[in-house]
Chains A and B, each alone.
Chain A
């Protein structure tokens, strides 16, 4: 940053923006319009701005973002499906001065890893859990997730999710917010620039709380899956606003009493 660039014609330019060192040069594999890449950027921009690249250790999930460790230029561990918050617990307990976060999707966190998630938060592990909720299993080809909305068509609910057969969408973030170990719980999105800015503020706060040993911070990002939802990226934004947000309303669920 702020380096002088000398062009061939002799013009000197001041560099005011560049790819942060916290992101590698590896191109994202995500589908066009998917929210993962934006959330990755936000996370690493915050790590860059707080200057904590050497202190931050991430845990990647199983699912579409399984390769998060290729893109984030920080030390990272890959976890088994659902176990990311247990892995993060192990890291944080032996390296309490480092900043640890897990990055998990809805199948990972709200289905196979429900027990690990709830108990990690209940212990108040001093970590950040980033939860990407797009209401579908993206990687395995668009099957029903615990967070799939009633009536939503997926490959394993081809006639729409029938709540009498498949149960109700699991609002796990609401459950989490009730636990005493949860310090800061918020639901955000990345569907427009304003939302991205809000998410960035939330991530910054979460890392700052972790530096102060406050307990578990939990950020849900209600996101989209153009491939799984079989919509264009633009249509997914409309679906988010009209269908997903009413069920998963954005905003803080638990904020510290200052």
Chain B
């Protein structure tokens, strides 16, 4: 986001509300959703604010279910609209059927998952337990979403623009994967510029067949195996192209002997761990994937050449750690520290983990 365009004063906002306001400023044509904790403020904010924006023609509709919402998204996206939905874990599970169809029909849209603890009805407390579902397909078939993981209220707002930009560039659904805490916490945010996201032309959309073109069809049905394979290969080629969009952030990795890898809120906590460790003379660095799909395999592989070990920190039972291990290919040990069910590791807890691994390693070295 260009700094010079940000002329507004910072505001104090909840993550969910900053995201909703950014969506209005991204000129979304429509939002379809169903309330679920901890992200209901998204639809509440839109219902409250959109009628006051006389310059906006945004549709905001509360559907009867998440299943209906995602299929409304499908219809609107197929009609060429900039459209989004938001939900939380159990609701996102209900949407998986529709997300698979949208990915196959190659429609751009934004799906926001403000993750809570699971499985099942789980808890309304924050979690990162939906990493697998978000990055490995989630629904049936071979497909991927573009997945962005914010770590601040600022990014809850900014990533709405980024997600639509990427979704429309690749004609692929994008997901913002945030945990419940990011949805609920209040922070300073400088909002993205109103109308700062140009519309992408959609000549493929169902807007009514005109004389000068053939009828447009939006479908995910390719009943001939030869045709289906072609579509699948085309999708895979697209995912390959997307690898160039991989984004991550690093903190003090230059001289790091220990590398932490964490995303979202866990990465925020790990920044503190880096500071605490360095006060004690332990050279810890942090890599934070911003795009969870595509994943920064290459950069993690490079860093693994320079560190003693890697500690992956998540709010789940260890999901991203599998991708980290794939990147490292056994070159250095990869450890995991996680808590679940809405529990969050403290910086001190993570630092103790780093120290105890170091101790064990020293014993081995001696």
Chain A residues proximal to chain B, CB less than 8 Å:
24, 53-57, 59-60, 66-67, 69-70, 72-80, 83, 86-95, 98, 115-116, 119
Give the number of chain B interface residues (Cβ < 8 Å): 40
Q: Is B75 in contact with A75, judged by CB distance below 8 angstroms?
A: no
Q: Does B65 contact A (CB under 8 A)?
A: yes
- What residue of chain A has the Cβ atom nearest to residue B98's Cβ? A80
Among A66, A75, A87, contact of B208 (Cβ-Cβ < 8 Å)? A75
A54-B210, A91-B76 in contact; A86/B63 too (CB < 8 A)? Answer: yes
* Contact residues in B for A83 (Cβ distance below 8 Å): 67-68, 71, 74, 98
Q: How far is the CB of B56 from chain A (nearest CB, A)?
A: 13
A73-B209, A75-B208, A78-B217 in contact; A119/B68 too (CB < 8 A)? Answer: yes
Q: How far is the CA of A91 from the CA of B218 in the complex (A)?
A: 12
Q: Is B79 in contact with A94, judged by CB distance below 8 angstroms?
A: yes
Within 8 A of A (CB), among B206-251: 206-211, 215-221
Q: Is A94 in contact with B215, judged by CB distance below 8 angstroms?
A: no
Q: Is A76 in contact with B72, judged by CB distance below 8 angstroms?
A: no
- What 9 A-B pairs are tightest by C-beta distance, nearest first? A90-B75, A90-B72, A75-B206, A78-B219, A86-B71, A87-B75, A90-B76, A119-B64, A83-B71
Q: Is A98 in contact with B207, judged by CB distance below 8 angstroms?
A: yes
- What residue of chain A has the Cβ atom nearest to residue B74's Cβ? A87
Q: Does B166 contact A (CB under 8 A)?
A: no
Q: Is A77 in contact with B219, judged by CB distance below 8 angstroms?
A: yes
Q: Is B71 in contact with A87, judged by CB distance below 8 angstroms?
A: yes
Q: How far is the CB of A102 from chain B (nearest CB, A)?
A: 10
Q: How far is the CA of A119 from the CA of B72 in the complex (A)?
A: 13
Does more than half of chain B's interface fall in helix, strand or loop, or is it mixed? Answer: mixed
* Contact residues in B for A72 (Cβ distance below 8 Å): 215
Among B64, B75, B219, B220, contact of A88 (Cβ-Cβ < 8 Å)? B75
Within 8 A of A (CB), among B61-98: 61, 63-65, 67-69, 71-81, 83, 97-98
Q: How far is the CB of B271 from chain A (nearest CB, A)?
A: 40
A–B pairs, 9, beta carbons within 8 Å:
A53-B208, A76-B215, A78-B221, A83-B74, A83-B98, A89-B75, A90-B74, A90-B75, A116-B68
* Contact residues in B for A116 (Cβ distance below 8 Å): 64, 67-68, 71
A80-B98, A94-B59 in contact; A86/B68 too (CB < 8 A)? Answer: yes
A75-B208, A83-B98 in contact; A89/B72 too (CB < 8 A)? Answer: yes
Q: Does B164 contact A (CB under 8 A)?
A: no
* Contact residues in B for A24 (Cβ distance below 8 Å): 215
Does more than half of chain A's interface fall in helix, strand or loop, or is it mixed? Answer: mixed
A55-B208, A66-B221, A77-B218 in contact; A93/B76 too (CB < 8 A)? Answer: yes
Q: A53-B208, A76-B218, A77-B206 are in contact. List 7 more A-B contacts (CB 8 A).
A: A24-B215, A76-B216, A77-B79, A80-B98, A91-B206, A94-B83, A119-B64
- What residue of chain A has the Cβ atom nearest to residue B77's Cβ? A90
Q: How far is the CA of A59 from the CA of B101 in the complex (A)?
A: 14
Among B81, B97, B208, contact of A56 (Cβ-Cβ < 8 Å)? B208
* Contact residues in B for A86 (Cβ distance below 8 Å): 63, 67-69, 71-72, 75
* Contact residues in A for B67 (Cβ distance below 8 Å): 83, 86, 115-116
Among B32, B208, B210, B220, contact of A90 (Cβ-Cβ < 8 Å)? B32
Q: Is B217 in contact with A94, judged by CB distance below 8 angstroms?
A: no
Within 8 A of A (CB), among B1-56: 29-30, 32
Q: How far is the CA of A24 from the CA of B214 in the complex (A)?
A: 10
Q: Is A77 in contact with B75, judged by CB distance below 8 angstroms?
A: yes
Q: How far is the CA of A5 from the CA of B167 in the complex (A)?
A: 51
